[in-house]
Chains A and B, each alone.
Chain A
């Protein structure tokens, strides 16, 4: 029995029937991380001691039959921008290289309460700024399907960890596709929930009005299970929804027959890799076979999603990263500082990578006197139009289907020299974040031996429909069951 390839549901069955203990399960993953991760480099920090301690506690819970949840004893990893008390949280940045949070993010707390076992923290583009994980200040993460290729970004470490079976589930974060794009590249399932559905408290902010924490898993069913445990109102995050969450797993088998599936025409245009296009068309046909009605819809402002997204992200990030100033935590470069301003200038110069520097400078530019209306405000207005596009589409259909990327995973180093070209790789995943709507990514085939991803986009707060359709699709396909052979 290969413990590391079990779904959460399968692992849970083994745990509660006492066929395997959480300590055994945890040790299996820790062993696999030791063997495989040097090739993949998904983890920034492995919290072995904590993991074994949590596993022992989970086993006690299971033994007593108290408080056992579907996640009790299940080993997981978490993106390194989500605060974990006592476990280094770096955002893959030099500026936080030795930062150990004094508190837990709400999501971390919720998973701990559910009894899940934290294996460690996964690599990412520095502060979430990137689409290939190559902007990590520490090292590149490799795509498990081909080590010469990128895993996508910014949750590249999480996607690679999931794809290489280095955790039973993983928690990513999606600001403009950062869960879905790497999920697509690595052939795993991942959801960006509705903005405000999962608490951001303790998530080190990139763009506050876009950031969404979401699970990455083997399949839609596991994804539903994890989201159920981390979603909900949080009194510590003013932007979380009050409305209750539905029981995603219980309702996941509800029929999808007769549902209207929208195909946004702006997402199927020239420039898409042929194999990606083919895989997507087959996925649409599969949905049709499942009884869905297929309709073409238009999201007419799609081409503006990228500039809107990047402008607003730059602006918000320029303020969010201001607290990294070398005075209260993190890196502090004080040699020769005559004044506190020298600490700021030196620390941020040495602590931030080029992409972070570019983005916070451009953010300050877009907000500065004389440019605010032309850039920041203009982007906020076009953002309203993007939302209206989705509202209009959802007045006609129940759910949308689109690719996660125009290509499969590109090669390491292929796009690092041209920032703008790198931004363009997010073209299909960014629009949902300014609009706030939920979207789930799942594998739908292969092109040039690399996984192809598709995403299903839903109405505000309607994660339920996404899970139903994704689950129905995964009942009739097996792309999600394929595992890379890591050489």
Chain B
């Protein structure tokens, strides 16, 4: 039985930027362990030399010509933004660098 402990749950929650409480972490930890256990079934399958399906596509070299299309309206765009200022999208202070 795999175990995904609450520390791991909290780590992946932060990776996907989900606020999570201790209680939730415990609930998810139990659920994840049984789901991951089920996924481990794939270990039965021999896949040596089998290519990844992500490399098999409908088409290749789907490219568009380098031509400019008109912009969407800024007003329309900002209508959905929770906060904006002087034509910019406004967000709280950004700490840390990416």
Contacts and interface: CB of A to CB of B under 8 A. Distances in A.
Contact of A352 (B18, B53, B64): B18
B20 to A, nearest CB: 7
Interface in B26-81: 28, 31-32, 34-36, 38-39, 41-43, 45, 47, 50-54, 56-59, 62, 64, 72-73, 76-77, 79-81
Contact of B16 (A301, A322, A330, A375): A322
B92 A343 contact: yes
Interface in A109-135: none
B41 A341 contact: no
Interface stretch (A136-144, A253-261, A376-384): A376-384
A103 B72 contact: yes
A304 B43 CA distance: 10
Q: Is the interface of A mostly helix, strand, loop or mixed?
A: helix
A238 interface: yes
Contacts of A328: 77, 80-81, 89
A365 B8 contact: yes
Contacts of B32: 358, 361-362, 365
B53 A384 contact: yes
Contacts of B8: 365
B19 A348 contact: yes
A343 B58 CA distance: 39
B82 A334 contact: yes
A349 B20 contact: yes
A239 B58 contact: yes
A245 interface: no
A327 B54 contact: no
A381 B79 contact: no
B15 interface: yes
A345 interface: yes
Given A339-B95, A344-B17, A375-B39, A357 B50 contact: no
Interface stretch (A46-54, A306-314, A476-484): A306-314
B28 A310 contact: no
A304 to B, nearest CB: 6
Interface string B1-21: 000100011001101111110
B95 A341 contact: yes
A158 to B, nearest CB: 25
B53 A381 contact: yes
A242 to B, nearest CB: 7
Interface bin, chain A:
35 or more
Contacts of A365: 4, 8, 12, 32, 36
Nearest to A342: B92
Given A326-B82, A378-B47, A380-B54, A419 B89 contact: no
B15 A385 contact: no
A436 B56 CA distance: 11
A238 B89 CA distance: 29
Nearest to A434: B53
Interface string A342-366: 1111101100100001101111111
Interface in A72-93: none
Contacts of B51: 381, 384
B93 A311 contact: no
A426 to B, nearest CB: 13
Nearest to A101: B80
B16 A361 contact: yes
Contacts of B83: 332, 334
Name the residue among A102, A240, A436 with the largest chain B CB count within 10 angstroms. A102
Interface of B: 4, 8-9, 12-13, 15-20, 24, 28, 31-32, 34-36, 38-39, 41-43, 45, 47, 50-54, 56-59, 62, 64, 72-73, 76-77, 79-83, 89, 91-96
9 contacts: A102-B77, A238-B62, A341-B95, A357-B13, A361-B16, A365-B36, A368-B12, A382-B47, A385-B50
